[in-house]
A and B are shown apart, each in its own frame.
Chain A
Amino acid sequence: MATLIAPSNHSPAEDAEAIRKAVKGWGADEKAIISILGHRNASQRTQIREAYQNLFQEDLIKRLESELSGDFERAMYRWIWEPAEREALLANLALKSADKNYQVIVEISCVLSPEELFVVRRAYHNKYKRSLEEDVAANTTGHLRQLLVGLVSSFRYGGSEVNAKLAESEADALHEAIKNKNKSNGEIIRILTTRSKTQLVATFNRYRDGHGIAITKKLSDEGSDEFHKAANLAISCINDRKKYYEKVLRNAIEGVGTDEEALTRVIVTRAEKDLKEIKEVYYKRNSVHLEHAVAKETSGDYKKFLLTLMGKED
């Protein structure tokens, strides 16, 4: 369930006016911006952008970019887009980043439904005048490339049918392929990038039952290169996405310093989807409420914005 609290009716023109008031003059009234945009869903935000453009002949996003700064600006910049455009943006940023963090590519292609992924690919065409798979392919090599291109190009069958025999045979095939140390990665890639999600979950279960070890554990035992890491991420996302997101959040918050990029990404992309369930999983795992942990690790407008998206009432 979503954690975002948004009114059922709003006036885009009024909102645009109010935001205009908040950004005019010296400095910006971040509180006002958060209280409006932090309580609007995707279609409402799009309407506000349109109203703002019509009323003031200016792109709201560009205005916010110039008026805000730091982690708050980055969070707001990601929040204001429609989901598909946002995912396309995140994918492109990941491909351009220096540390070549492809976790985002795996996450987008494995968490979204096949239809949602296609809308993202379309948004990517419009934004960047290239296809997503073309950019992923041009920025990666070898088995990692084949895996990532396969994942972003997939249009999995979305039904709930499971072929138990196939699950068993492919669980065995995966086991053999993993043991074969990089000589059979083609089989791993084929299964992970083409089978339906329900079929894969059945396969992963068969794997554990049949071989006494979780497939993710086996994969990480056999190799820690980029390919194995990415394959593991894909399996985690497909198997249990809430658990996956809990781990991303936990890693972002724990330890020295906070990974704001990851924290922002999870909260902004899931606030309208299943952040409520993710919060519950987080609490179960860490005995601390997510809001509490975020409040401890962040500050200022950035903190206020994240908490608003998580459903905190003033």
Chain B
Amino acid sequence: MAFNQELEALTKAFSGHGVDEKSLVTILGKWDPLERESFRKNTPHSFIEDHERHFQRWDDHYVRLLKHEFVRFKNAVVLWTMHPWERDARLVKEALKKGPSAYGVLVEVACTRSSEELLGARKAYHSLFDHSIEEDVASHIHGIERKLLVALVSAYRYEGTKVKDETAKSEAKILSNAIKNVHKKPINEDDEVIRILATRSNKHLRAVYKHYKEIAGKNLDEDLDDLRFKETVQCLCTPQIYFSKVLNAALRIDVDKNTKKSLTRVIVTRADIDIKDIKTEYHNLYGVSLPQNIEEVARGNYKDFLLNLIARG
């Protein structure tokens, strides 16, 4: 390989999700000092030229970011080997520490796990953190989101197939009225909306979703402006669409580190559940296959690991 090609390969090895360990070993490992200096001079966003003293130093911020990329594979492995209950308990704890921008993870965990899985996560949370999930969610979150989030993590939904269609129809109407009156009463203060979303079974809510579309002409999540409520409905009624959207947002080159982390989280948590359906939905929505997008944006062991997890489905 010509030096210019090697330079390009190495730059690529460092960009995206994870790092291409193989290229680093074979290319970087054989470069002599002059070639490495050329590398430093040709990648200005990672190295800072000190013109006075004539040397190039690593950009501190970039080194910190690089650390995250090297460790991305390790984190995926650790998350994958964890018991699902510990995993979900830790995801919740982390989201609470991160703050409002991460509360979507709370909705995701509470609404896309089965009733027994959520119960398991609550038990693991006791064991790991000496508090109950609802206690920590309630004491960390003071704003308007508290009611909905505490209710969601406390749910133990019926999982059978029995649905009373009459009730689903009337509850769709309740939601439609609540949404129309949002200027008089904000949705997160509407106890009826929270009751329906936080206590009814999944099957029941999908019936409500269907009736809502018939009444209002639009999908329930599209008509909800509040982000948490939107996520709640998406997770409960159309989870594969929700996960496809999260994945698509994460599979970009320049995304913030929280969004990047959702790639690992979604693949690891859904690989045993519905990754096949998510792949299908992803293709429907974006016209590209999920493995292909991952191939383009992820690197090295991390990429291979993810592709393996997906291929199992």
A121 within 8 A of B: yes
A153 touches B158 (CB 8 A): no
B132 touches A194 (CB 8 A): yes
Number of residues on chain B facing chain A (CB within 8 A): 30
Nearest CB of A to B126, in Å = 5
A125 within 8 A of B: yes
The listed residue (B126, B154, B157, B200) touching A157 by CB distance below 8 A is: B126
A194-B138 contact in complex given A131-B201, A138-B195, A141-B191, C-beta closer than 8 Å: yes
The listed residue (B146, B151, B162) touching A153 by CB distance below 8 A is: B151
Alpha-carbon gap, A186 to B139, bound state (A): 12
Nearest CB of A to B88, in Å = 14
A154-B158 contact in complex given A149-B199, A161-B130, A190-B138, C-beta closer than 8 Å: no
B150 within 8 A of A: yes
Nearest CB of B to A24, in Å = 37
Please give, as numbers and ranges, the residues of chain A lying within 8 Å of B131 by CB-CB distance. 157, 196
A155-B191 contact in complex given A130-B201, A133-B199, A196-B135, C-beta closer than 8 Å: no
Mark each residue of chain A from 123 to 163: 1 if its CB lies under 8 Å from any CB of chain B, else 0.
00100011111100110011001100110011111110100
Please give, as numbers and ranges, the residues of chain A lying within 8 Å of B155 by CB-CB distance. 131, 133, 153
CB-CB contacts below 8 Å: A75-118 with B: 114, 118
The listed residue (B126, B134, B156) touching A131 by CB distance below 8 A is: B156
Alpha-carbon gap, A134 to B155, bound state (A): 9
A195 within 8 A of B: yes
The listed residue (A132, A146, A149, A155) touching B132 by CB distance below 8 A is: A155
Nearest CB of B to A276, in Å = 30
A121 touches B156 (CB 8 A): yes
Please give, as numbers and ranges, the residues of chain A lying within 8 Å of B160 by CB-CB distance. 125, 129
Please give, as numbers and ranges, the residues of chain A lying within 8 Å of B146 by CB-CB distance. 186, 190
Please give, as numbers and ranges, the residues of chain B lying within 8 Å of A134 by CB-CB distance. 157-158, 199-201
Please give, as numbers and ranges, the residues of chain A lying within 8 Å of B126 by CB-CB distance. 155, 157-159
A131 touches B132 (CB 8 A): no
The listed residue (B147, B150, B200, B201) touching A194 by CB distance below 8 A is: B150
The listed residue (B134, B138, B151, B156) touching A118 by CB distance below 8 A is: B156
Mark each residue of chain B from 113 to 150: 1 if its CB lies under 8 Å from any CB of chain A, else 0.
00000010011001000111111001100000011001
B272 within 8 A of A: no
A203 within 8 A of B: no
A129 touches B158 (CB 8 A): yes
A156-B199 contact in complex given A131-B158, A133-B156, C-beta closer than 8 Å: no
Number of residues on chain A facing chain B (CB within 8 A): 33
B199 touches A129 (CB 8 A): no
Nearest CB of A to B201, in Å = 7
Chain B interface helix/strand/loop/mixed: helix
Please give, as numbers and ranges, the residues of chain A lying within 8 Å of B156 by CB-CB distance. 118, 121-122, 125, 131-133, 153
Mark each residue of chain B from 152 to 166: 1 if its CB lies under 8 Å from any CB of chain A, else 0.
001111111010000
CB-CB contacts below 8 Å: B87-132 with A: 119, 122-123, 126, 130-132
A154-B130 contact in complex given A125-B159, A145-B195, A190-B138, C-beta closer than 8 Å: no
A154 touches B132 (CB 8 A): yes
Nearest CB of A to B115, in Å = 8
Please give, as numbers and ranges, the residues of chain A lying within 8 Å of B123 by CB-CB distance. 155
A232 within 8 A of B: no
A193 within 8 A of B: yes
Alpha-carbon gap, A125 to B155, bound state (A): 12
Mark each residue of chain B from 186 to 203: 1 if its CB lies under 8 Å from any CB of chain A, else 0.
000001000100111100
Alpha-carbon gap, A122 to B126, bound state (A): 20
B199 touches A154 (CB 8 A): no
Please give, as numbers and ranges, the residues of chain A lying within 8 Å of B195 by CB-CB distance. 137-138, 145, 149
B154 touches A153 (CB 8 A): yes
Please give, as numbers and ranges, the residues of chain B lying within 8 Å of A161 by CB-CB distance. 130
Alpha-carbon gap, A26 to B151, bound state (A): 53
A145 touches B158 (CB 8 A): no
The listed residue (B132, B139, B150, B154) touching A196 by CB distance below 8 A is: B132
Please give, as numbers and ranges, the residues of chain B lying within 8 Å of A129 by CB-CB distance. 158, 160, 162
Interface residue ranges, A against B (CB under 8 Å): 114, 118, 121-122, 125, 129-134, 137-138, 141-142, 145-146, 149-150, 153-159, 161, 186, 190, 193-196
Given contacts A134-B157, A153-B151, A153-B154, 17 further A-B contacts (CB under 8 A): A125-B158, A125-B159, A130-B158, A133-B199, A134-B158, A137-B199, A138-B199, A145-B195, A153-B155, A154-B134, A155-B134, A155-B154, A157-B126, A157-B135, A190-B139, A194-B150, A196-B135
13 pairs, A vs B, C-beta closer than 8 Å = A118-B156, A125-B158, A134-B157, A134-B199, A145-B191, A145-B195, A153-B154, A154-B154, A155-B134, A155-B154, A186-B146, A190-B146, A196-B132
Interface residue ranges, B against A (CB under 8 Å): 119, 122-123, 126, 130-135, 138-139, 146-147, 150-151, 154-160, 162, 191, 195, 198-201
